[in-house]
């Protein structure tokens, strides 16, 4: 894919090449740094159809500083005739707008950019200063990364979600560091991946950031192309791995025996089976983020919360990732389930994940589907963030403490979950 986007031939891992960029963006938190550098390098946008501003961190400003920054961004966008997109978290928005597609080269300042690899793109994070150069030239210099292949087979049990599979990979392969694939491309394959929805694939791809990867790739198939038929008018190219492809490392994992997982503070790789976390008291619950704000995630949580209520004295924030997801969830009655349960539903943005809502005080604890749980990410550095799947956060919100969703829901798809839990 990178060779196709460059003027080079015979490209190998480790080569330094220049590639033509198809999609690039800047969001509001990086705007000031970007603007300063962009003006220094010339301030001319090479292609206004390929560059855009995206507002997804604080679309509803809560401070004067945030409001001033959004105002400045909009003024600058009007001056430069650049579109401003404010429809939700960018990683889900790219898919829904048809921007992330097979063969596309995507670059911009957001660490979870590799999420678009679930849609067949080469998508990588670069800083706001590098992004300024991309906007000016349309080109990105990069070192072709090595590839780590993770082959996933098996059929997971009830309430074991793609987020749990991602946590399992982090826990098993991370060792003493989160970044076991630092600077590399993580390629997912296998029967488990083939059977995932696009929501599930994006969750897996999103978690490669916590592995230190520069990009992620899931080979496009009919599931993706059928979705894109209604989203993308222009032709795109599907790239597949060569039969004799060489990988830096290969792993094969079976997801059939996995249990729900919880990442303890203060690292996404601090992964434990849920049995080690059950009974831990929680003050706040959060369902959302670019990892788990998909429609499928909301459905999973709503199935558990339907007819139940959030534990007394506890808070729950639900944030659909985009406006489109929120509207569909409303049509399906999902949002009403959350409201009746006592949760607060926010509009599509990053929300509590990077600490723009639901700030924690010292000693408080949050159970979240956020991307990260670093110290101080959601507020006071002496607060704690536990990471989990939508199923775990929903079941736990009912009890007010971390709860195994397999025990909270005794009949899932006709299976006797209590019996399975007892056999663990």
pLDDT at 243: 83
Mean pLDDT of 313-339: 97
Q: For the chain, how many residues are written?
A: 424
SS3 152: strand
Please confirm whether the linkage preceding 104 is cis (ω < 30° from 0). no
Helix 334-341 to helix 295-305 angle (10° resolution) is: 50
Q: Does domain 16-140 have CATH number 3.30.499.10?
A: yes
For CA atoms 171, 175, 179, 185, give the dihedral sign: negative
Domain ranges of the chain: 16-140, 147-254, 263-423
**Inter-residue contact 262 to 392 (CB < 8 Å):** yes
Q: Does domain 263-423 have CATH number 3.30.499.10?
A: yes
**Inter-residue contact 51 to 135 (CB < 8 Å):** yes
pLDDT at 259 over 70: yes
Q: 147-254 belongs to which homologous superfamily?
A: Aconitase, Domain 2 (3.40.1060.10)
Q: Could you report the per-residue pLDDT of 362-374, keeping only the tens digit for each?
A: 999 999 999 999 9
Q: With bands split at pLDDT 50, 70 and 90, how would you rate the model's confidence at 409?
A: low
Rounded Cα distance between 166 and 99, Å, is 25
Q: With bands split at pLDDT 50, 70 and 90, how would you rate the model's confidence at 177?
A: low
Identical fold for domains 16-140 and 263-423, yes or no, is yes
**Closest to 182 in 3D by CA, of 162, 210, 155:** 210
Mean pLDDT of 66-76: 97
How many beta carbons lie within 10 A of that of residue 284, not counting itself? 22
pLDDT at 421 over 80: no
pLDDT at 68 over 90: yes
Q: With bands split at pLDDT 50, 70 and 90, how would you rate the model's confidence at 175?
A: low
Considering only residues 174 and 207, tell me which one the structure prediction assigns the higher pLDDT: 207
pLDDT at 96 over 90: yes
Q: With bands split at pLDDT 50, 70 and 90, how would you rate the model's confidence at 176?
A: low
């Amino acid at each position: 894919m990178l060779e196709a986007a460059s003027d080079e031939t015979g490209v190998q891992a480790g080569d330094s090449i220049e590639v033509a960029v198809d999609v690039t963006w800047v969001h509001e938190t990086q705007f000031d740094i970007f603007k300063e550098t962009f003006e220094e390098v010339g301030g001319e946008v090479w292609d206004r159809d390929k560059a855009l501003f995206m507002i997804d961190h604080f679309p509803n400003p809560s401070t004067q500083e945030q409001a001033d920054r959004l105002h400045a961004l909009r003024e600058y966008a009007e001056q430069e005739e650049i579109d401003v997109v404010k429809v939700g978290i960018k990683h889900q928005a790219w898919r829904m707008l048809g921007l992330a597609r097979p063969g596309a080269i995507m670059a911009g300042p957001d660490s979870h950019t590799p999420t678009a690899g679930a849609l067949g793109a080469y998508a990588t994070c670069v800083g706001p200063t590098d992004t300024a150069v991309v906007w000016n030239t349309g080109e990105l210099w990069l070192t072709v990364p090595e590839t780590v292949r993770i082959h996933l087979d098996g059929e997971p049990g009830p309430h074991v979600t793609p987020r749990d599979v991602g946590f399992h990979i982090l826990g098993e392969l991370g060792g003493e560091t989160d970044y076991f694939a630092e600077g590399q491309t993580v390629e997912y394959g296998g029967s488990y991946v083939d059977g995932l929805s696009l929501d599930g694939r994006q969750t897996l791809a999103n978690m490669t950031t916590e592995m230190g990867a520069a990009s992620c790739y899931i080979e496009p198939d009919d599931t993706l192309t059928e979705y894109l038929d209604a989203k993308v008018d222009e032709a795109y190219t599907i790239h597949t791995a060569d039969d004799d492809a060489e990988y830096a490392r290969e792993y094969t994992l079976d997801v059939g025996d996995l249990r729900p997982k919880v990442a303890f503070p203060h690292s996404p790789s601090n992964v434990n089976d849920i049995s080690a976390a059950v009974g831990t008291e929680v003050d706040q619950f959060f369902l959302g983020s670019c990892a788990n704000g998909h429609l499928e995630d909301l459905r999973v949580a709503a199935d558990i919360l339907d007819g139940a209520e959030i534990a007394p004295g506890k808070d729950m924030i639900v944030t659909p990732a985009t406006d489109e997801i929120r509207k569909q969830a409303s049509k399906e009655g999902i949002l009403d389930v959350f409201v009746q349960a006592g949760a607060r539903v926010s509009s599509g943005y990053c929300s509590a994940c990077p600490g723009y809502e639901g700030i924690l005080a010292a000693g408080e604890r949050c159970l979240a589907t956020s991307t990260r749980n670093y110290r101080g990410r959601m507020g006071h550095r002496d607060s704690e963030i536990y990471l989990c799947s939508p199923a775990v956060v929903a079941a736990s919100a009912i009890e007010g403490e971390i709860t195994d969703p397999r025990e909270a829901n005794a009949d899932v798809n006709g299976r006797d979950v209590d019996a399975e839990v007892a056999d663990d």
